[in-house]
Amino acid sequence: MRVIFICRYTMKIKAIIAVILVVIIVVPVYLIYFNKDDVTAADKNKKPLVEIIYPQDNITVSKIVMISGTASDPDGDDKLLSVEIMIYDRWILAKGNIRWSYEWNTFDMEDGYYSIQVRSWDGKHYSDIKHLNLNVNNPDMVASDTHKWAVFIAASNFPKDNESKLGNGALNLAEEMVAYFVQDLSYSTNNMFILFDDGWIREDNGYGEPFETLQERTHQYDITYAGATKEIVRSVINYIVEKSNKFDDSEVFIWIASHGCGNEKKKLFGGKLLERSAIYLWDDILTDRELGNLLSDLNSHRTCIIVDACYSGGFADKTIFNKRESIIFRSGIPGSGRVVLSGASKYRLGYASTTQGPLFSQLWFNGITSGKADGFRPFILKIGRPTILNFFKDGKVSVEEAFYYARYVLRTEKIYEKYDKMEPQINDRYPRFGLFGSFKGLILGN
């Protein structure tokens, strides 16, 4: 009996050991075999990559800096979810992923070196962090002969449908004006800004995909480029107001071109009879009153403001046929020492070329640079006419003379007969308001 008991006990021990061995060996093999797809997928997920293209490391920057670069995922770029940037003490989403950018506003930053970190994210892993060191230097001093500031603002390609996009014409015209202002009017490149779209150049004259930031691309003059977003527009105008107010002889030029807000189907008033004039920026709308508020503290008595868009007359506090805007819709933009021009009346459409920019601005600028506008006078309802007296010609062209020249050309030249109903408007208070407030007018850079 004892032998039988020992044998049975030994058999039980062996069975237990066998079960343990099965658990130790077979179960893991089973799990690995039947879950190998999940394990393999987890092992195969590789970290995404990120690179900084612009600006270069350890350079000095100022005003607005468009930090940009590329990101990719070895598992497929469709897996790439986001790019994040850290400048202070928290991660912030950059715009885009495969091509990404972040506009850094340094106007209010203390001068000195800043360490910037960038990483990408694919939903499972972060990339290795890339580092960038930049030296911020925004000088308080302005050279004694450079008390002139200019900003050119255009939002052209934000509509989703290609038929409504305006191409890169406004950017091309803005850069032509910059060249003239620098070469002929002695504007400093340090005091000039071009704010266009979201800060990116797009293929196919603005109709394609973004491929390069404005700051990355090669350009003739070292001016400040950035996007025409509402935040940036506010920051730049506030900066210009603050800097120019330090000098009694300051000159300020502001040019804005975009789509205007209105209803083309309402032929008589464009839906603007009981509304303010407003234009589109890249990400928002800017009303005439908002622009008036931004300029309320501007002290410069040599200021030209041009808003070239459909239904833009309200920016000049005019409706149509030189009629003043009602008091409840006044913008607050016109003031002593300012000339305010609109590319169309409050109730009419404006027009633009996708390669050359808005039509009124083209004619106005041509009138100045060619000298053809010299001597042009207001005539009835400010519709413009050439002078009949050589007394009014002095070899220089004022902002106002160029306006009257543009209106005259629109009204009289056959190639523009389809556009003669634009009715550009003017509110001239240079050097002061009143019947005898302005004789020759504001000559830029003079």
Tokens encoding 163: 């038929």
Residue 197 shares a structural domain with residue 297:
yes
Asked if residues 314 and 331 have their Cβ atoms less than 8 Å apart, the reply is yes
Residue 418 inside a domain? The answer is no
**Of 224, 262, 218, 259, which is closest to residue 240 (Cα–Cα)?**
224
Residue 250 shares a structural domain with residue 227:
yes
Residue 99 shares a structural domain with residue 207:
no
Residue 124 shares a structural domain with residue 162:
no
The domain total for the chain is: 3
| Furthest CA-CA distance within the chain | 142
Tokens encoding 327: 């008091």
Residue 16 inside a domain? The answer is yes
Residue 156 shares a structural domain with residue 209:
yes
Residue 301 shares a structural domain with residue 177:
yes
Question: Which one-letter amino acid corresponds to residue 303?
Answer: T
pLDDT for res 343: 98
Give the integer Cα–Cα distance in Å for 157 and 160: 8
List all residues 6 or more positions away from 59 whose beta carbon is below 8 Å from its beta carbon. Answer: 134, 135
pLDDT for res 20: 58
The region, left, alpha or beta by phi > 0 then psi within -120 to 50, assigned to residue 188 is beta
* DSSP assignment letter at 272: -
Residue 425 inside a domain? The answer is no
Q: What is the CATH number of the domain that holds 281?
A: 3.40.50
Residue 127 shares a structural domain with residue 161:
no
Residue 32 shares a structural domain with residue 164:
no
Tokens encoding 33: 């075999």
Residue 24 shares a structural domain with residue 81:
no
Can you give the length of the chain in residues? 446
Give the CB-side neighbour count of residue 256, counting CA atoms within 13 A. Answer: 33
Give the integer Cα–Cα distance in Å for 339 and 430: 6
Give the integer Cα–Cα distance in Å for 406 and 341: 11
**Of 72, 105, 153, 186, which is closest to residue 443 (Cα–Cα)?**
186
Residue span of the structural domain in which 38 resides: 2-44
Give the integer Cα–Cα distance in Å for 264 and 258: 15
pLDDT tens, 394-436?
A: 899 999 999 999 999 999 999 999 998 999 999 999 987 766 5
Residue 176 shares a structural domain with residue 238:
yes
Give the integer Cα–Cα distance in Å for 116 and 62: 15
pLDDT for res 4: 41
Asked if residues 408 and 372 have their Cβ atoms less than 8 Å apart, the reply is no
Tokens encoding 430: 């240079």
How much of the chain is helix, strand and coil, in % rounded to 5?
A: 30, 25, 45
CA distance between the termini of the chain: 126
To the nearest 10 degrees (0 to 180), the angle between helices 399-412 and 359-370 is 120
Domain boundary among the residues 136, 160, 187 is at 136
**Of 393, 359, 360, 364, which is closest to residue 376 (Cα–Cα)?**
393
Residue 159 shares a structural domain with residue 20:
no
Residues of the chain with pLDDT under 50: 1-9, 19, 22, 26-27, 29-34, 36-42
